[in-house]
């Protein structure tokens, strides 16, 4: 750990959890210009410029940070203490532009590129799922990455509204076309619900994407599915993208495009823990929409899944540093 600056969260034993300005998990807030010691950076991306139906995910980062003040130091299930394993900090929010999609994507890419260039692993808080595209543009500019993607939807659609190519339903189609993802190392888990014509699934499968529907997950169980997912992504760099609508709306109702019959929170925790040991290079958690989340349950759920993601990211960072 750095001797010059503490990277540990403020303790709830010292300052009550409802007090102070909310950073993720009460980590220090460190602007990117001064983040040279940081190993894992929390990045808020407050935009829903790609949303096609019910909006509100632009408010996700603030709500997630507020709920995250309850996070403590140690994962009771795995024993991992992420903030002791890696220097984590909240880097604040990426610049965005709510009035112009192209400019918004450019601003996010530039900010995340600054994160990557400093050797910081990004743990991003959406925002709608389109934010994964500029993140991948920054992260995978030299070589394509693999991805484990939890979602009710493939987000491999081609276009909306007569040829419009940039929405939260299209990020991975663009990412595959741009050579940012290696489709043979992409696994999607939890896919379900009604669909259009199935072209998204056909296109992705034809390029080697492994799509695990919710029915297959229910049949085989999370351990078997994750064993296969780990084998598919192998030892190369892997990005993790978690759309909160992968969960059943009973656990996460506050999202724009809920689909019933989804993943439980326990299954999600178990599957994220099964990412331990992979060469994880970044993660995002997207599509939390606070205006659709009056109880705050969805944000609580997201916070705890981000904590699980931080645990496996910190293990990966510590392994690479050793
Ligand atoms: Mn989705
Ligand atoms: Mn999605």
Instruction: Return the residue matching tokens 């960072």.
Output: 317
The tens-digit pLDDT sequence of the chain (322 residues) is 444 568 999 999 999 999 999 999 999 999 999 999 999 999 999 999 999 999 999 999 999 999 999 999 999 999 999 999 999 999 999 999 999 999 999 999 999 999 999 999 999 999 999 999 999 999 999 999 999 999 999 999 999 999 999 999 999 999 999 999 999 999 999 999 999 999 999 999 999 999 999 999 999 999 999 999 999 999 999 999 999 999 999 999 999 999 999 999 999 999 999 999 999 999 999 999 999 999 999 999 999 999 999 999 999 999 999 9
- CA of 318 from ligand 2 middle (Å) equals 29
Q: How many residues does the chain have?
A: 322
Q: Which ligand is nearest to the CA of 258?
A: 1
For residue 300, the Cα-to-chain-centroid distance in whole angstroms is 15
Q: Are strands 145-150 and 237-243 parallel, antiparallel or unpaired?
A: parallel
Degrees to nearest 5, angle at CA 210 with 302 and 239: 45
- CA of 50 from ligand 1 middle (Å) equals 12
CATH topology of domain 24-321: 3.40.800
Q: 13-24 burial by CB neighbour count: b if 16+ within 10 A, else e?
A: eeeeeeeeebbb
- CA of 54 from ligand 2 middle (Å) equals 13
Enumerate the domain spans of the chain: 24-321
Q: Note if the pTM is more than 0.75.
A: yes
- CA of 257 from ligand 1 middle (Å) equals 6
Q: Which of 289, 286, 320 is nearest to 305 (CA)?
A: 286
Of the CA atoms within 13 Å of residue 92, those in its CB half-sphere come to: 12
- CA of 170 from ligand 2 middle (Å) equals 9
- CA of 128 from ligand 1 middle (Å) equals 9
């Amino acid at each position: 750990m750095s001797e010059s600056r503490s990277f540990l969260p403020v303790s709830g034993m010292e300052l009550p959890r409802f007090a102070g300005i909310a950073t993720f998990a009460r980590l220090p807030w460190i602007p990117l210009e001064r983040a040279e010691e940081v190993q894992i950076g929390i990045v808020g991306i407050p935009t829903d410029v790609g949303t096609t139906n019910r909006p509100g995910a632009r408010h996700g980062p603030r709500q997630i940070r507020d709920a995250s003040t309850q996070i403590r130091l140690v994962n009771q299930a795995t024993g991992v203490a992420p903030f002791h394993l890696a220097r984590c900090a909240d880097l604040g929010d990426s610049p965005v532009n709510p009035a112009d999609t192209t400019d918004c994507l450019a601003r996010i890419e530039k900010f995340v590129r600054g994160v990557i260039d400093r050797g910081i692993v990004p743990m991003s808080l959406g925002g709608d799922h389109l934010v994964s595209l500029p993140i991948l543009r920054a992260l995978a500019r030299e070589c394509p990455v693999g991805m484990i993607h939890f979602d009710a939807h493939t987000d491999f659609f081609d276009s909306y509204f007569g040829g419009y190519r940039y929405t939260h339903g299209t990020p991975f189609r663009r990412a595959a076309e741009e050579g940012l993802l290696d489709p043979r190392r992409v696994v999607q888990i939890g896919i379900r619900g009604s669909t259009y014509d199935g072209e998204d699934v056909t296109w992705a499968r034809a390029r080697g994407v492994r799509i695990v529907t919710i029915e297959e997950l229910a049949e085989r169980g999370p351990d078997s599915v994750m064993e296969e997912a780990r084998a598919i992504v192998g030892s190369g760099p892997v990005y993790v993208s978690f759309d909160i609508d992968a969960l059943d709306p009973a656990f996460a109702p506050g999202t724009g495009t809920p689909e019933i019959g989804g993943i439980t929170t326990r299954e999600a925790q178990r599957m994220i823990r099964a990412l331990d040991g992979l060469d994880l290079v970044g993660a995002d958690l997207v599509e939390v929409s606070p205006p659709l989340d009056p109880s705050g349950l969805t944000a609580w759920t997201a916070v705890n899944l981000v904590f699980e993601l931080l645990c496996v990211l910190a293990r990966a960072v510590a392994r690479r540093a050793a």
